[in-house]
A and B are shown apart, each in its own frame.
Chain A
Amino acid sequence: MADEKENQSPPPPKKPWEEKPVPPQPQDAREHPLVLEVERACPGRVREAVAFAGQITLKVELEHLLELLAALKGLGYAFLVDLTAVDWKDRPEGRFEVVYWVHRFADSARLRVKAPVPEGAEVPSVVELWPTANWMEREVFDMFGIYFANHPNLERILTWEGFQGHPLRKDFPVEGVDTGAAIYPDVFPPGGGPVKPKGGA
């Protein structure tokens, strides 16, 4: 009886969480109103605009980065949400990429700005525009070894002064490196393991 009923009625439509998820696709966002607004304020600087998962990314050359960010600040993006970098190892246009994520309170608009950074190149600091960038830039310097020009106090922040290497670079081993910071060398000699007390036991 129950089988018959099931055969008669068509199966109920699948719920969105039962189906195979459809990943978002990147789309060109040149015509998006937010991008057009930026284009008007700072013409010709945005190299590429992509929308992915509802988020807009503006790609810009390093030499135009500060100009574009200043224009964004002028457009009311008063809040720098995040500043970080990505190490792309062997990318021709530049090994690193700095990523800015700005927010405007009036209409809750958010934009991501990315610029490629070749190894050794200096990125202009945005501390003047957003004071909150201070520590974020220090962290990027510490973790990736990217220098920020005109930063008021570019020091290591999470690791210590004198640490060798930049941990979030892809060529830095996950296991870490010997930093030479041996504490209590009598108890924990280099090479590992506590010292056996003299005379056995």
Chain B
Amino acid sequence: MADLQATLLGGEEMEVSFGPQHPATHGVLRLQLKVDGERIVNAKPIIGYLHRGTEKLFERETYPQCIPHTDRMDYTAAATNNQGFVGAVEKLMGITIPPRAAYIRMILAELQRLSSHIIWLATHALDIGAVTPFFYTFQEREKILDLFEEYCGARLTLNTMRIGGVPWDLPEGWTERCRRFVEELPKKIEDWERLLTNNRIWKARTVGVGVIDAEKAIAWGLTGPPLRGSGVQWDIRKVFPYDHYDEVEFDIPIGKNGDTYDRYLVRMEEMRQSVRIIRQCLDKLPDGPVMAWVPKVIRPPKGEVYFSVEGPKGELGYYIVSDGGVTPYRVRVRPPCFVNLQALPEMVKGHLVADVVAVIGTLDIVLGEIDR
């Protein structure tokens, strides 16, 4: 007992397990925290609870069969996962997809980005203690999922892209419903911002928490909103445009201080930019086929290719090595969450235990993708 008291009161360091059964850690992330009172001395993320061997599974499936597996990695952003994989195979085979297919892909990807950011906003706010945004945001997410359901029949694991295009044309009236949704959304985003942006409690919990400067962010390999929150203007959609992102106008929002609050602002602005992209896509949506001519059996030539897309979480890359067979020889997924989570110990050092929750939320990790 005396020893215990000495440990608890003597200001000595103590090790605490945070998760995996903790609501803020998604149930599958464990952090080993070394704490001195309430201060974090060190944090060690322990992952792998959701490892399903997706990369191994890819090696025995044919290329089209691999696409549903990609849905299950970042399960809040299935469309962008599909986009990355089919894009990589198309690059390997030299397929050009019809413009209508590319535009449908962009609409789906941006809707997916919105839905992913909405989940992030709802759960991040909920973790920090703001319960109200959850109810408002999930209403809008429901509408996005309805649009997905109408298009491909699924709400989460969409499996909505094929090598060479998209499987179906848009259903009748879909574009109008999509347009109505994106016309309404900016007002809703404003409402959410009114709940949080100038909220004193929100600012007290986020400003100056989890700071990472640009140089460190690059060294740690951060991509996506965490990198942009630190002030690096970098977006795969601009740097290496895929599909027809070079034909639409959008801005890349950046932060200044690299803290949780700036990353929040970056993501909110990204939602507005996504709305802007979807609007332009709906205006420009060309007619024509939605599938390119592709051979019945997908058999890419020998070679290797790396193709990345700007997922909602960051740079999602696929490195495919083909030996000329019907199944990939090796598929490596560059998971943005895996790399972003690595910077967590750096970001929480010296903060309070309660701030760990804020930093996990601001990194916007999905363990399905980290563990694969």
Contacts and interface: CB of A to CB of B under 8 A. Distances in A.
B219 A130 contact: yes
B330 A52 contact: no
A134 interface: yes
Nearest to A22: B94
Contact of A81 (B56, B334, B371): B334
Nearest to B221: A132
A95 to B, nearest CB: 13
Contacts of B22: none
Interface stretch (A1-9, A11-19, A36-44, A185-193): A11-19
Contacts of A112: 306
Interface stretch (B71-79, B246-254, B289-297): B289-297
Contacts of B239: 108
A139 B51 CA distance: 12
Contacts of B300: 23
Contact of A174 (B57, B303, B372): B57
A18 B321 contact: no
Interface in A159-193: 159-160, 167-168, 172, 174, 176
A23 B301 contact: yes
B339 A132 contact: yes
B192 interface: no
A21 B47 contact: no
Contacts of B56: 167-168, 172, 174
A82 B321 CA distance: 14
Nearest to A172: B56
Interface residues of B, number: 52
A78 interface: yes
Contacts of A21: 93-96, 292-294
B188 interface: no
B371 A78 contact: no
Interface in B301-345: 301, 303-306, 308, 315, 317, 319, 321, 329-330, 332, 334, 338-339, 342
Interface in B219-274: 219-221, 232, 234, 239-240
Given A17-B289, A17-B292, A101-B319, A80 B221 contact: yes
Contacts of A131: 219-221
Contacts of A159: 48, 51
Contact of B338 (A53, A79, A135): A135
A105 B218 contact: yes
A132 to B, nearest CB: 3
A200 interface: no
B11 interface: no
B127 to A, nearest CB: 24
Given A17-B96, A22-B94, A99-B319, A53 B221 contact: no
Give the top 5 A-B pairs by smallest Cβ distance, nearest first: A132-B221, A17-B292, A16-B96, A23-B301, A158-B48
Interface of B: 47-48, 51, 53, 55-57, 59-60, 91-98, 164-165, 218-221, 232, 234, 239-240, 289, 292-295, 300-301, 303-306, 308, 315, 317, 319, 321, 329-330, 332, 334, 338-339, 342, 371-372
